[in-house]
């Protein structure tokens, strides 16, 4: 019995590894000067906004068993669209945001149709869509950046903190709202359950009466809307957007993907949590902050984000390998363990 | 014909009216693959540029431009064929082999090249063991390993570039090695008609073709790629096969990395950036699918040609860089779509 | 297997701890790793040590006069890797009247780019939020320099910044967001959080810089712009801007090329990353100059294949096929990988008559000039860029008057004078 209890704890750590990661980073924050200040946390939370939206979109697709590589460019497009509509076309902010989300939905629809109807692998579709979006964006703006042109009203609102003594900017509150809405949708609605079922086993889901094509298209559209809105919010809060936003540095796509994996989402689909992805993103950004203050070198940042990701992959791989080994040699042990721990899945 | 197909795919139909004969068009498209596009591009090229398009200079320039991508593609094809999606650590494999080669120049040209290739191949060994033996997820693992390598290389060399002639120092022997190293990408045969890089690319493709079709490894790889479980149950050593596929991939990438470094005369961590997806694009254009076990090396070579000819023709017409992205993306999506649908019509997907 | 993983986890935590401990106090951790790269730096500082060591004593002696003598002595003594002045005198620029509506002018008219070329000169009043100079000299001041991203150029810039700040007795930290806009915004927040005396920033985006400099100034910290030009809206929020005068240099390059071409022929351009200020300066700088002085020189094509030798080589090869003998010259925005690719393509086609001019100043470019493959490049010191910024900060700390816009002294490098610029900075 004790054996089981210990194992239960080990798996718990794995289930909540995003929180554990955040905890480790926060402990090391003690060594960094000025880490525990209101200002610093406001900046970390605001900075996580763009990555969170991209991470949410990516996690959603991954739970459904797909990969959406075009999230980075869709977010860029959202940022370019909102500023283009506002600055170049002179439309009101509300309409500009709607256009950004709408264009995101449109490209999501295109992705979804190609994946669901033309049956091309999502990895390939979104890879090709990246080039298409990149080309369109550059043609639209002629490669130049688009800015708010000194109209900082909304920018200032997004960056202000409405609640005293709490490090939450308006931008972050929007982000938080998106996280919570998506959490509720995934956990409480029929669509949410469908997403998990589609990712778990597409064929079973179809046999169970789920309209898989329609749901897949919807998932890609939501992913597009999330990216469009996230990019738009980021673009306005920064006051500018360039067509290269999604490809520089550790690209937002890579941060989103890493956070999704660290958050424990299964790459094969059917398992994952939006909240864990969000926590991982905050942890990654906090880690960037700590490393910048302590070392100040970008090299170390990329090294550490790589090590954390590699560690998660290795852990998952090796436990799976060990289990398969046990399964091969002594299947009875595994069944006993499953009975005792009350788990249905390894 | 179209209504019949629609009926066939609609669920719940009583009478089985599905086509049993094989569509000739689909079969043709499936066989011809990328060469169909090559032919179209050739015609377009001939119309817009008349004689100049098929001149030796232009053909050489097309081949030369795709030679680096081609070298890496020859290896990447093994990974894609084994149903392992993509080797995302391709960029750092190229950068690492190039930087190691430059760093080893003081010990002579042979040590430098062998050391560079060995360093790059080591990446493949690690990838292969993790993915083949322990069955880590190929995309996530190679991506993570790429980041780790990128961090290590940046920290190790302090984020600076290294130049063959500076590394060589004052020693006469090392300087000579540096000059030789830089001349790799600038060696031509037949009065400048045939660059060494193109020769190496073709040799690698022939080698890959031989490995894929004439060896036991090639047959096993097709089984592993088509159906992993079936291959395992019929006694194929899957782990060994996948490891070898990754090693071959990294070997080719390392060779490409050395030529890349020789071409720019700079060893830098940013060498090879973007080659992961560029090469995958070419391989997919060549008719391979992510499901694995489909397509062939001849097709991949066609895919590489398409990438080169497309860029060449777009520059000849005078399409701006921005529109080039768009055209590339649309062509890629259409080709992959045609390819997938022909596979499906033939019942192979 | 669990044990192994636990050990790996422990090692990971230990590594983090080691990095944390070794780096809290000093900026040393990179030193051993970059031993190869920093060797010349060590020599350099050793050479510069002598005057720098004198200065505190000197400063004590002349305490009543402030840091003025001190600064001048340091400026005179420090040298870059290529034996030029680390902190050259900033250059002022004469500027013409602004045209009525620049955007209505044709693409090859210099007036169209007035707002980019003469940015900062007509920006008007400085923002009231810029803190007053402390006036007590640079000693002991803490400075954070945020660069744009990792590159060999940046490594040289970082070296220059550290060398110059050390000479003035300023503490400096260099942070890099690796070309990521979102990360740079976050670094600025962090820098403000660290409460330094000044922040030197190379903005990634000219437009976003307004927001960035505004933020720093609003936090009551002196902001210095360096290297990359911003829009004029950002100028009121920085205490001073220093950096290269890309436009003037490109005009100079174009003049030399125009003369070499005999005032006629076709020219094709390979650009910098589209959208940024170097893109306009290094493409439309020469185009407008040719349109004004050599109207018979025609622009054949403009392409942006990026900074990869293989891509550039392909584009240039395609140009040679497409334009044949009409192509007489190529203007490159970068003298490193772009130059290698272009020179290779020209050589391969046997078209040695095509003249190639490149902007920038790297080892590759200098070697190519020496070998006679490149006609001319411009001298643009990375270390000097940082040095000029540090000098401006030091002068500002000492309460001296600084130029609102200070350009870096430059030169043209041809095969005649190339020897004088070795060893190169990057």
Q: CATH number of the domain at A294, please.
A: 1.10.3470
Residues in Cβ contact with C103 at an 8 Å cutoff, skipping those fewer than 6 apart: C112
pLDDT 10s per residue in chain B (349 long)? Answer: 455 555 555 555 566 666 667 777 778 877 777 788 888 888 888 888 777 778 888 888 889 889 999 999 999 999 999 999 889 999 999 999 999 999 999 999 999 999 999 999 999 999 999 999 888 989 999 999 999 999 999 888 877 788 888 888 888 889 999 999 999 888 888 877 889 999 999 999 999 999 999 999 999 999 999 998 889 888 899 999 999 999 999 999 999 999 999 998 888 888 888 898 889 999 999 888 888 888 889 999 999 999 999 988 888 888 888 888 899 999 999 988 888 888 888 776 5
**Contacts with B130 from chain A: Cβ below 8 Å:** 314, 317
Where in the sequence is the domain holding C294, given as residue range(s)? 246-379
Element (H, E) at C241: strand C240-243
Q: Is residue B7 part of a domain?
A: no
| Strand, helix or coil for residue C91 | strand
Q: Which of A134, A316, A317 sits opposite B325 (nearest CB)?
A: A134
Contact A31 C20 (CB under 8 A): yes
Distance CA B269, CA C13 (A): 26
Q: Is residue A346 part of a domain?
A: no
Distance CA B150, CA C99 (A): 49
DSSP collapsed to 3 states, B167-189:
HHCCCHHHHHHHHHHHHHHHCEE
| Strand, helix or coil for residue C113 | helix
Residues in Cβ contact with C184 at an 8 Å cutoff, skipping those fewer than 6 apart: C146, C148, C177, C203, C204, C212
Query: Residue B145's pLDDT is what?
Result: 94
Q: B157 is written with which tokens?
A: 């060399």
**Contacts with B328 from chain A: Cβ below 8 Å:** 131, 135
Distance CA B217, CA B207 (A): 13
Element (H, E) at C419: none
Confidence of residue C42 (pLDDT cuts 50, 70, 90): very low
User: φ and ψ at A73, to 5 degrees?
Assistant: -70, -30
Distance CA B95, CA B150 (A): 9
Please list the residues that pair with C174 across neighbouring strands: C145
Contact B263 C309 (CB under 8 A): yes
Residue C53 CA neighbour count, 13 Å, CB half: 6
CB atoms under 10 Å from CB of A324, counted, come to: 14
Q: How far is CA A296 from CA A156, C175, C303, C392, in A?
A: 29, 5, 36, 23
Where in the sequence is the domain holding A230, given as residue range(s)? 2-341
Contact A289 C190 (CB under 8 A): yes
Q: Which of C309, C313, C321 sits opposite B316 (nearest CB)?
A: C321
Percentage of chain C exceeding pLDDT 90: 20
Sheet containing C222-226: order of strands: C171-175, C142-146, C198-201, C222-226, C240-243, C405-407
Pairing between strand C297-303 and C265-270? Answer: parallel
Q: Is residue B68 part of a domain?
A: yes
| Strand, helix or coil for residue C327 | strand
Element (H, E) at C300: strand C297-303
Q: Pick from C296, C161, C317, C130: which is nearest to C223 by CA? A: C130
Distance CA A39, CA A167 (A): 7
Query: Residue A64's pLDDT is what?
Result: 93
Q: Is residue B253 part of a domain?
A: yes
C392 and C312 in a single domain? The answer is: no
**What is the rounded average pLDDT for all residues in chain A?**
87
Q: Pick from B277, B336, B286, B298: which is nearest to B86 by CA? A: B277
Q: Residue A341 burial by CB count (10 A; 0-12/13-18/19+): exposed, middle or buried?
A: middle
| Strand, helix or coil for residue C333 | coil
Q: Chain C: nearest CA to A186, how far in angstroms?
A: 29
Distance CA B133, CA C35 (A): 38
Encode pLDDT of C211-260 as tens digits: 889 889 988 999 999 988 888 888 888 888 998 888 888 998 999 899 99
C290-305 mean pLDDT: 90
Distance CA B40, CA B54 (A): 14
Contact indicator for C359, C377 with CB cutoff of 8 Å: yes
C336 and C391 in a single domain? The answer is: no
Q: Which of C182, C193, C275 sits opposite A47 (nearest CB)?
A: C182
Distance CA A286, CA A255 (A): 13
Pick A87 or C7 by higher pLDDT. Answer: A87
Q: Is residue B170 part of a domain?
A: yes
CATH number of B333's domain: 1.10.3470
User: Chain C: residue nearest B272 by CA?
Assistant: C308
**Contacts with C311 from chain B: Cβ below 8 Å:** 65
Pick A216 or C37 by higher pLDDT. Answer: A216
Distance CA A149, CA A155 (A): 11
| pLDDT beyond 60 at A294 | yes
Element (H, E) at C270: strand C265-270
User: φ and ψ at C272, to 5 degrees?
Assistant: -80, 180
Contact B159 C36 (CB under 8 A): no
CB atoms under 10 Å from CB of B54, counted, come to: 12
CATH number of C222's domain: 3.40.50.2300
C290 and C217 in a single domain? The answer is: no
Q: Which of A309, A315, A322 is the best substitution to test chain B (most B C-beta atoms within 10 A)?
A: A309
Q: Which residue has the tokens 């996230």?
A: A230
Where in the sequence is the domain holding B179, given as residue range(s)? 34-338
ipTM over 0.90: no
Helices B297-317 and B275-285: angle between axes, nearest 10 degrees:
110
Q: Pick from B138, B122, B135: which is nearest to B81 by CA? A: B138
Q: Which of B53, B65, B260 sits opposite C317 (nearest CB)?
A: B65
Distance CA B248, CA B124 (A): 8
Query: Residue A292's pLDDT is what?
Result: 84
Distance CA C141, CA C196 (A): 8
Query: Could you report how far apart the first and last alpha carbons of chain A are, in Å?
Result: 18
Respond yes or no on whether the N-terminal peptide bond of residue C423 is cis (omega within 30° of 0).
yes
**Contacts with A325 from chain B: Cβ below 8 Å:** none
Q: Which of C36, C38, C321 sits opposite B61 (nearest CB)?
A: C321
Number of domains in chain A: 1
User: Chain A: residue nearest C145 by CA?
Assistant: A296
**Contacts with C305 from chain B: Cβ below 8 Å:** 321
Q: Which of C22, C27, C152, C162 is the best substitution to test chain B (most B C-beta atoms within 10 A)?
A: C152
Pairing between strand C405-407 and C240-243? Answer: parallel
**Contacts with B195 from chain C: Cβ below 8 Å:** 348
Q: Which of C313, C319, C348 is the best substitution to test chain B (most B C-beta atoms within 10 A)?
A: C348
Query: Residue C399's pLDDT is what?
Result: 87
Contact indicator for C397, C137 with CB cutoff of 8 Å: yes
Q: Is residue A163 part of a domain?
A: yes
Number of domains in chain B: 1
Q: Is residue C285 part of a domain?
A: yes
User: Chain B: residue nearest A266 by CA?
Assistant: B137
Q: Report how many Cβ contacts below 8 Å link chain B to chain C.
A: 115
CA quadruple B320, B322, B326, B328: dihedral, nearest 10:
70
C310 touches chain B (CB under 8 A): yes
> Over the range C360-381, which residues count as b (16 or more CB within 10 Å of their CB) and which as e?
bbbbbbbbbbeeebbbbbbbbb
Query: Residue C5's pLDDT is what?
Result: 56
Query: Residue B61's pLDDT is what?
Result: 86
Q: Is residue C181 part of a domain?
A: yes
DSSP A55-120: HHHHHHHHHTT---TTHHHHHHHHHHHHHIIIIIS---HHHHHHHHHHHHHHHHHHHHHHHHTS--
Q: Is residue C21 part of a domain?
A: no
């Amino acid at each position: 019995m004790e054996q089981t209890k210990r194992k239960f704890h080990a798996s718990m750590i794995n289930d909540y590894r995003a929180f554990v990661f955040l905890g480790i980073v926060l402990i090391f924050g003690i060594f960094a000067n000025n880490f525990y200040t209101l200002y610093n946390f406001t900046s970390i939370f605001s900075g996580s906004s763009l990555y969170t939206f991209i991470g949410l979109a990516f996690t959603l697709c991954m739970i459904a068993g797909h990969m959406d590589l075009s999230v980075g460019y869709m977010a860029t497009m959202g940022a370019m669209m909102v500023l283009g509509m506002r600055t170049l076309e002179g439309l009101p902010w509300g309409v500009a945001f709607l256009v950004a989300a709408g264009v995101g939905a449109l490209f999501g629809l295109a992705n979804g149709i190609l994946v669901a109807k033309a049956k091309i692998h999502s990895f390939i579709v979104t890879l090709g869509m990246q080039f298409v979006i990149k080309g369109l964006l550059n043609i639209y703006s002629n490669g130049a950046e688009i800015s708010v042109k000194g109209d900082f009203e909304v920018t200032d609102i997004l960056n202000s903190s409405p609640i005293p003594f709490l490090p939450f900017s308006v931008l972050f509150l929007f982000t938080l709202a998106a996280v919570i809405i998506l959490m509720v949708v995934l956990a409480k609605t029929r669509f949410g359950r469908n997403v998990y079922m589609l990712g778990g086993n597409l064929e079973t889901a179809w046999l169970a009466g789920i309209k898989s094509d329609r749901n897949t298209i919807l998932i890609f559209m939501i992913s597009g809307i999330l990216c469009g809105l996230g990019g738009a919010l980021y673009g306005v809060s920064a006051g500018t957007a360039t067509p290269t936003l999604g490809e520089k540095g550790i690209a937002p796509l890579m941060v989103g993907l890493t956070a999704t994996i660290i958050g424990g989402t299964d790459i094969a689909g059917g398992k994952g949590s939006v909240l864990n992805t969000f926590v991982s993103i905050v942890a990654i950004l906090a880690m960037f902050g700590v490393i910048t203050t302590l070392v100040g070198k970008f090299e170390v940042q990329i090294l550490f984000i790589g090590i954390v990701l590699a560690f998660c992959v290795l852990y998952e791989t090796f436990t799976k390998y060990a289990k398969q080994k046990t399964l091969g040699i002594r299947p009875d042990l595994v069944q006993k363990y499953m009975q005792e721990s009350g788990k249905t899945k390894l | 014909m179209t209504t019949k197909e629609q009926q066939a795919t609609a669920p719940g139909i009583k009478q089985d009216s599905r086509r049993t004969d094989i569509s000739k068009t689909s079969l043709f498209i499936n066989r011809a693959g990328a060469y169909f596009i090559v032919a179209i591009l050739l015609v377009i090229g001939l119309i817009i540029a008349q004689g100049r398009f098929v001149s030796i200079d232009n053909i050489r320039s097309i081949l030369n431009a795709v030679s680096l991508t081609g070298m890496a593609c020859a290896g990447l094809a093994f990974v894609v064929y084994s149903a392992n999606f993509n080797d995302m650590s391709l960029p750092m494999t190229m950068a690492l082999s190039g930087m190691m080669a430059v760093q080893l120049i003081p010990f002579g040209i042979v040590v430098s090249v062998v050391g560079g290739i060995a360093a790059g191949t080591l990446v493949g060994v690690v990838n292969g063991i993790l993915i083949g033996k322990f069955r880590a997820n190929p995309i996530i693992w190679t991506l993570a390993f790429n980041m780790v390598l990128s961090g290590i290389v940046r920290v190790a060399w302090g984020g600076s570039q290294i130049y063959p002639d500076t590394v060589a120092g004052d020693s006469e022997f090392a300087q000579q090695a540096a000059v030789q190293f830089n001349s790799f990408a600038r060696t031509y045969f037949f009065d400048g008609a045939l660059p060494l890089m193109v020769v190496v690319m073709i040799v690698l493709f022939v080698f890959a073709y031989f490995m894929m079709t004439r060896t036991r490894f090639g047959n096993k790889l097709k089984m592993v790629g088509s159906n992993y479980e079936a291959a395992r149950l019929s006694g194929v050593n899957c782990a060994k096969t996948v490891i070898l596929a990754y090693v071959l991939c990294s070997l080719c990438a390392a060779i490409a990395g050395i030529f890349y470094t020789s071409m720019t005369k700079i060893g830098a961590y940013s060498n090879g950036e973007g080659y992961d997806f560029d090469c995958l694009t070419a391989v997919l254009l060549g008719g391979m699918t992510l499901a694995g076990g489909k397509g062939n090396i001849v097709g991949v070579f066609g895919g590489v040609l398409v990438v080169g000819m497309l860029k060449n023709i777009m520059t000849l017409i005078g399409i701006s860089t921005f529109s080039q992205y768009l055209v590339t993306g649309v062509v890629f999506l259409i080709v992959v779509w045609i390819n997938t649908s022909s596979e499906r019509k033939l019942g192979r997907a | 297997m669990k044990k192994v993983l636990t050990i790996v986890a422990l090692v990971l935590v230990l590594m983090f701890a080691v990095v944390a401990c070794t780096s809290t106090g000093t900026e040393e951790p990179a030193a051993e790793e970059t031993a190869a790269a920093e060797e010349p730096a060590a020599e350099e500082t050793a050479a510069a040590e002598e005057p720098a060591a004198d200065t505190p004593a000197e400063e004590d002696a002349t305490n009543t006069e402030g840091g003025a003598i001190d600064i001048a002595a340091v400026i005179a003594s420090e040298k870059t890797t290529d034996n030029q002045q680390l902190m050259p005198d900033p250059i002022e620029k004469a500027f013409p009247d602004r045209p009525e509506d620049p955007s209505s002018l044709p693409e090859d008219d210099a007036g169209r780019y007035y707002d980019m070329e003469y940015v900062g000169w007509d920006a008007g009043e400085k923002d009231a939020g810029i803190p007053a100079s402390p006036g007590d000299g640079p000693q002991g001041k803490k400075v954070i320099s945020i660069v744009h991203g990792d590159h060999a150029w940046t490594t040289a810039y970082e070296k220059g910044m550290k060398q110059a700040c050390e000479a003035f007795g300023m503490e400096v930290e260099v942070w890099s967001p690796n070309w990521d806009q979102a990360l740079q915004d976050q670094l600025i927040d962090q820098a403000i959080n660290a409460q330094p005396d000044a922040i030197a920033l190379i903005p990634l985006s000219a437009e976003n810089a307004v927001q960035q400099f505004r933020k720093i100034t609003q936090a009551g910290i002196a902001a210095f712009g360096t290297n990359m030009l911003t829009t004029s809206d950002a100028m009121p929020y920085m205490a001073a801007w220093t950096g290269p005068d890309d436009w003037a240099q490109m005009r100079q390059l174009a003049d030399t090329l125009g003369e070499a071409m005999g005032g006629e022929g076709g020219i094709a351009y390979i650009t910098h990353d589209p959208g940024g200020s170097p893109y306009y300066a290094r493409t439309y700088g020469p185009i407008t100059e040719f349109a004004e002085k050599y109207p018979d020189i025609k622009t054949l094509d403009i392409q942006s294949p990026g900074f990869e030798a293989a891509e550039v080589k392909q584009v240039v090869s395609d140009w040679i096929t497409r334009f044949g003998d009409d192509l007489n010259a190529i203007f490159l925005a970068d003298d490193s990988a772009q130059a290698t690719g272009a020179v290779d393509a020209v050589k391969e086609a046997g078209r040695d008559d095509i003249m190639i001019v490149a902007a920038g100043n790297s080892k590759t470019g200098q070697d190519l000039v020496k070998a006679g493959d490149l006609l001319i490049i411009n001298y643009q010191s990375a270390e000097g860029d940082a040095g000029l910024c540090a000098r401006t900060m030091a002068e500002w700390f000492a309460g001296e008057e600084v130029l609102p816009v200070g350009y870096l002294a430059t030169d043209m490098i041809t095969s005649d004078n190339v020897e004088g610029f070795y060893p190169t900075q990057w």
